[in-house]
Amino acid sequence: MPTYLMLTNLTAEGVRTLKNNPGRVAEVNREVEQLGAKVVAQYATLGQYDFVTVVEAPDEKTMAKVSVELGSRGTMTSQTLAAMPAEDLSNSL
């Protein structure tokens, strides 16, 4: 299944939501599954992004739906990257 990386920043509203409901991260991950994708791994990070999330989705349309749905809430912004295992790149050369 195709893999995507979501690089996420919380808005001020998103920070408040997370502070008031730390379990919200797990709730959102379950919602991602309801949209047809699967959170494989997720990391809270320091620096340019607040979270890095590894997501599997059957296709770009599904991943776009996830990105738009989450972004429409006003609690985060994200950049989504298509990813492939480095070994697959090496084998294709």
In angstroms, the CA 50 to CA 7 distance is 8
The first and second tokens of residue 72, run together, are: 């429409």
Write the CA distances from 17 to 28, 34, 44, 55, 79, integer angstroms.
Answer: 12, 21, 15, 22, 20
Residues 6+ apart with CB under 8 A from 19: none
Does the predicted model carry a pTM greater than 0.85?
A: yes
Give the tens place of pLDDT for each residue, 19-76: 999 999 999 999 999 999 999 999 999 999 999 999 999 999 999 999 999 999 999 9
Segments forming the whole domain that contains residue 81:
3-85
How many domains in the chain? Answer: 1
Report d(CA 9, CA 72) in Å as an integer. 14
Best CA proximity match to 9, nearest among 62, 61, 70, 60 = 70
For residue 47, is it within any domain?
yes
CATH of the domain at 51: 3.30.70.920
